[in-house]
Amino acid sequence: MEIKSLEKTDFETIFIAFSKAFADYDIQLNADELRVMLKRRGFNPELSFAAFEGEDIVAFTLNGIGNYNGKKMAYDTGTGTLKQYRGQGLATKIFEYSLPFLKKENINHYLLEVLQHNSKAVSVYRKINFQTTREFNYFVWKNEEFKNEIEEFSKPFKIESIDIEDYDMLSDFWDFYPSWQNSFESIQRSKEDFVKLGAFEDTMLIGYCIFEPNSGDITQIAVDKEHRRKGVASLLVREAGTYNKCSTTKLINADITCNSIVGFLKAKNIEVKGKQFEMIKEI
Domain boundaries, the chain: 2-107, 139-275
Give 153's pLDDT tier (boundaries 50, 70, 90): low
Report the C-alpha gap between 12 and 18 in whole angstroms: 10
Q: Do domains 2-107 and 139-275 have the same CATH topology?
A: yes
The letter for the amino acid at 21 is A
| Angle of helix 31-40 versus helix 11-21 axis, rounded to 10 | 100
Q: Is the pLDDT of residue 240 over 70?
A: yes
Query: What is the number of helices (H) and of strands (E) in the chain?
Result: 7, 12
Supply the DSSP symbol for 170: G
Q: Is the pLDDT of residue 130 over 90?
A: yes
Q: What is the pLDDT of residues 158-188, one digit of tens each?
A: 999 999 999 999 999 999 999 999 999 999 9
Supply the DSSP symbol for 44: -
Q: What pLDDT was estimated at residue 151?
A: 64
Q: How far is CA 110 from CA 61, 65, 137, in A?
A: 12, 9, 21
Q: Can you tell me the mean pLDDT for 257-266?
A: 96
**3-class SS of residue 159:** strand
CB atoms within 10 A of CB 276: 23
Q: Is the pLDDT of residue 48 over 80?
A: yes
Tell me phi and psi for residue 27, to 5 degrees: -100, 130
Report the C-alpha gap between 60 and 43 in whole angstroms: 13
- Name which of 221, 268, 241, 235 is nearest 152 in CA terms: 235
Tell me phi and psi for residue 216, to 5 degrees: 70, 25
Give 259's pLDDT tier (boundaries 50, 70, 90): very high
2-107: which CATH topology? Aminopeptidase (3.40.630)
Give 22's pLDDT tier (boundaries 50, 70, 90): very high
Angle at 222 between CA 201 and CA 249, to 5 degrees: 115
CB atoms within 10 A of CB 172: 10
Q: Is the pLDDT of residue 18 over 70?
A: yes
Q: Is the pLDDT of residue 238 over 70?
A: yes
Q: Can you tell me the mean pLDDT for 145-153?
A: 76
Calculate what percentage of the chain has a pLDDT beyond 70: 98
Q: Which residues contact 117 (CB under 8 A, 6 or more apart)?
A: 274, 275
Q: Can you tell me the mean pLDDT for 203-215?
A: 97
CA atoms within 13 A of residue 58's CA, in its CB half-sphere: 17
Report the C-alpha gap between 234 and 216 in whole angstroms: 16
Report the C-alpha gap between 41 and 185 in whole angstroms: 9
Q: Is the pLDDT of residue 96 over 70?
A: yes
Q: Tell which wins on pLDDT, 1 or 6.
A: 6
Q: Is the pLDDT of residue 208 over 70?
A: yes
Q: What pLDDT was estimated at residue 28?
A: 81
Q: Are 269 and 129 in contact (CB under 8 A)?
A: no
Report the C-alpha gap between 36 and 9 in whole angstroms: 18
Q: What is the pLDDT of residues 52-77, one digit of tens each?
A: 999 999 999 999 999 998 999 999 99
CATH superfamily of 139-275: Gcn5-related N-acetyltransferase (GNAT) (3.40.630.30)
Q: What is the pTM of this model?
A: 0.92
